[in-house]
Amino acid sequence: MTGRLLTLPAVKEMLERAGTAPRRSLGQNFVVDPNTVRRIARLAGIGPGDRVVEIGAGLGSLTLALASTGAEVVAVETDGRLVPLLFHAVGDAAVDRASESADDGTPQRATAVDAAPGSVVANPPKFERAGAHPVRVVHADARRLDWNALLEGTDWHLVANLPYNIATSLVLTVLDGVPAVTRLLVMCQREAAERLAAAPGSGAYGAVSVRVALHADAELVGAVPASVFFPRPEVESALVRIVRRSPPIQPELRAEVNRLVTAAFAHRRQMLRRTLRGALDDADRTLARAGVNPTDRPERLGLAEWVRLAEFSLATPAQS
């Protein structure tokens, strides 16, 4: 491959030469439209000097677009069949750029970390070459990553075409436990995207929406048609931009909000006085003290109301 962005013929050729095919069990739908990956990189707002971690890099479609902005990219892929193909794609791209811009004219490839899925490599290698796109390929399962070992420093961007079956859980994991990631631009199934960014009162608003709002501001920034993927999925996709706020809500209060919204949205059509009866020692009294109508349903409460309710819940002595 060269430094060009991947198209459908290129992706098919890569898979055919490797004697492999996309795995449905891993949610593999590769982006085969260069305009789409360019759009994602643009919406992510990244450029030279930025640091990006990409989850589910696949064959490198999005990786190449991210690297073309001049950002440093850590590309994580769990499928060992694809890691050599990904390394080949981004390595050749680095060679093309390096041959044009390296001071000594010596091309150097991307560095691959070919560890077993879930493992962490101490002191992972990096680029040490001026004028080229730094790309590091990491073979690991994102659900079991040691994020602190993977990411050094702060102010990382996470940009990804996320498999539909892990999108929500991965976003919440990063928001809850990886403060080094301050901005996310993720593509996932449209319904999941809507839940991540939903506002109070909407049909998509739920416990996930509140958990995201505890950390960050989230917004839908675009739709993605099924036609840009290979193989073509049966669902539509959407892009969500998530920007972490500062300062963060204290962990104890955040945990209490999570506990309450999980209980409340388990029966979202019921009134709060009923659905929170098992979660609060005196639901009616605590709701009243927090200024929340006990007859409201959970989707009517915004983040401020959930936080205030959690504060009163923590301040209420447990009944003996």
pLDDT given for residue 300 in this prediction: 95
Identify the CATH assignment for 251-315 out of 3.40.50.410, 1.10.8.100, 3.40.50.510, 2.60.120.640: 1.10.8.100
Cα gap 237→187, rounded to integer Å: 7
Identify the CATH assignment for 8-244 out of 3.40.30.10, 3.40.50.150, 3.40.50.300, 3.90.79.10: 3.40.50.150
pLDDT given for residue 92 in this prediction: 57
Of 67-71, 92-96, 309-313, the range with the lowest mean pLDDT is 92-96
Q: What is the pTM of this model?
A: 0.85
Choice between 27 and 187, residue whose per-residue pLDDT is larger: 187
**3-class secondary structure for the chain?**
CCCCCCCHHHHHHHHHHHCCCCCHHHCCCEECCHHHHHHHHHHHCCCCCCEEEEECCCCCHHHHHHHCCCCEEEEEECCCCCHHHHHHHHHHHHHHHHHHHCCCCCCCCCEEECCCCCCCCCCCCCCCCCCCCCEEEEECCHHHCCHHHHCCCCCEEEEEECCCCCHHHHHHHHHHHCCCEEEEEEEEEHHHHHHHHCCCCCCCCCHHHHHHHCCEEEEEEEEECHHHEECCCCCCEEEEEEEECCCCCCHHHHHHHHHHHHHHHCCCCCCHHHHCCCCCCCHHHHHHHCCCCCCCCHHHCCHHHHHHHHHHHHHCCCCC
pLDDT given for residue 246 in this prediction: 87
Q: How confident is the model at residue 133 (pLDDT cuts 50, 70, 90)?
A: low
Of 71-75, 135-139, 257-261, 313-317, the range with the lowest mean pLDDT is 313-317
pLDDT given for residue 157 in this prediction: 98
Question: What are the pLDDT digits (tens) for 251-304?
Answer: 999 999 999 999 999 998 999 999 999 999 889 999 999 999 999 999 999 999
Question: What are the pLDDT digits (tens) for 167-215?
Answer: 999 999 999 999 999 999 999 999 999 999 999 999 999 999 999 999 9
Query: For the chain, what percent of residues have pLDDT higher than 90?
Result: 71
Q: How confident is the model at residue 165 (pLDDT cuts 50, 70, 90)?
A: confident
Choice between 101 and 145, residue whose per-residue pLDDT is larger: 145
Question: What are the pLDDT digits (tens) for 96-119?
Answer: 333 233 333 333 333 444 333 443
Q: How confident is the model at residue 25 (pLDDT cuts 50, 70, 90)?
A: confident
- Per domain, the residue ranges of the chain are 8-244, 251-315
